Amino acid sequence: MVGLLSSLFACLTAASLVSADGLNARAVAAGKKYFGTAISTTILNDASANAIGKNFQDFGQYTCENEMKFDATEPSRGSFSYGNADKIVAQAQANGQILRCHALVWHSQVPSWVTSGGFNNATLISIMQNHIANVVGHYKGKCYAWDVVNEALNEDGSYRSSGSVWGSTIGPAFIPIAFAAAAAADPGAKLYYNDYNCDKAGAKATGAQNLIKMVKSYGAPIHGFGMQGHMTTGQVGSASALVSNMQGFTALGVEVAYTELDMATPSSNPNFNQQATDYATVVSACKQVAGCVGITIWGFTDRYTWISNSAPLPWDTNFQKKAAYASILNAWGSAGTGSSTTTATMTTTIVTSSTTSAGPAPSGGGGCAAAHWAQCGGTGYTGCTTCASPYTCQYSNAWYSQCL
């Protein structure tokens, strides 16, 4: 009996260890708020991909890739469409994942009724404010953060006007107006400015810092800066340079996050070892800055990357983990309940113990209850199938169910 109880306890402990490890689990153990991914309805409709995307231990946060942008949410004036985004929000809520909501005002993916409407300054401001009020209001209380304004700067740090209906009609004032409107629609959300090529010190990073100061000078709230992090393998540089740049933003009283991280490498001749090193460099930099709250990769599998002829993500086109996965995991440090190496060793020991001393571990019943987040089912799983109160065993995929 003692042997049986020891085996059951070891089984429960191993299940907890296994379920508590992953990219997000390591990030949280390192003191960050999340490690997340961009996700789309394309992923939701691919069962194999979605099984990875739903795993809370790897992804504690979602960003809708396109489903919350202007053209998707207000395709015609005053007519709002939320169906696709709502599906992603529902999945995030079911899995306990944080939402970074993206993006309210951008020069791209704006419907033609806006860009070709010939609206004057006052009318376009009212259109923008109405859009923000409706979209942010629809998701009020569900978004940890909003990317309020996206990519409003030129490479030299000046404000974009060419190609931007907002910049060319309203001027830079559209930025603080948008932040004020977002704050009014959801006072509880963090409000971010989001842009690319600001990962290292330079003209554009300085321009982004000046934009933050400008928004504050208008009296509008701004809480964060999103460094998109679209990088190229072999060109990332040192962690110390990334840290110094982030500190330039946090010194302004805002938090920072990598919001769209990927690491381009040619799919025809990839350098996955260097890619893994570069991902680890970015993680190490974020880890060193208290105000860096988390990292979002812009998708997780090369099958659905937005970058053509590239293999920029931690999973390959066949949904297999690449070297980058392990490098990110290790760069965060040990998980809160033990490293992945320890977990694997314990699992092997437990299987041997339960087989030799007490037979297979029971499937539920007998007082066996899996803890919150622990595994409770799946092909080949022989542990507890009943969850500790008040949690229930929820199906994730054929190989994994979890107490949620």
What is the mean predicted confidence (pLDDT) over 147-166? 98
State how far the Cα of 102 lies from the Cα of 36, in Å rounded to an integer.
14
pLDDT above 90: residue 357? no
Residue pair 59/38 in contact (Cβ under 8 Å)? The answer is: no
Say yes or no to pLDDT of 275 above 60.
yes
The pLDDT value given to residue 386: 86
67 catalytic, yes or no? no
Q: pLDDT value at position 199? A: 96
Q: Is residue 11 very low, low, confident or very high in pLDDT (cuts 50, 70, 90)?
A: very low
In this predicted structure, the answer to whether residue 230 has a pLDDT above a threshold of 50 is yes
Radius of gyration of the chain from Cα atoms? 23
- % of the chain exceeding 90 in pLDDT: 77
Query: 51: part of which helix (H) or strand (E)?
Result: helix 47-53
Choose between 162 and 335: higher pLDDT: 162
Nearest to 403 by CA among 370, 366, 364, 362: 370
**Rounded to whole angstroms, what are the CA distances from 277 to 105, 329, 403?**
34, 12, 34
Contact (Cβ atoms closer than 8 angstroms) between residue 56 and residue 317: no
pTM: 0.80
Q: Which secondary-structure segment (H or E) carries 89?
A: helix 83-95
Give the other-Cβ count within 10 Å of 364's Cβ: 16
Catalytic residue, chosen from 67, 74, 151, 255, is 151
| Pair of tokens at residue 398 | 């054929």
335 or 400: which leads in pLDDT: 335
Domains of the chain: 23-332 (3.20.20.80), 369-403 (no CATH)
Tell me the average pLDDT across 77-90: 98
Which pLDDT belongs to residue 389? 82
In the predicted model, is pLDDT for residue 63 greater than 80?
yes
CA diameter of the chain: 81
pLDDT of 385 strictly over 60: yes
Peptide bond into 390 cis (omega under 30): yes
Known catalytic residue: 260? yes
Active-site hit among 65, 67, 74, 260: 260
CA pair distance 330, 325, nearest whole angstrom:
9
Q: How far apart are CA 173 and CA 299, in angstroms?
A: 32
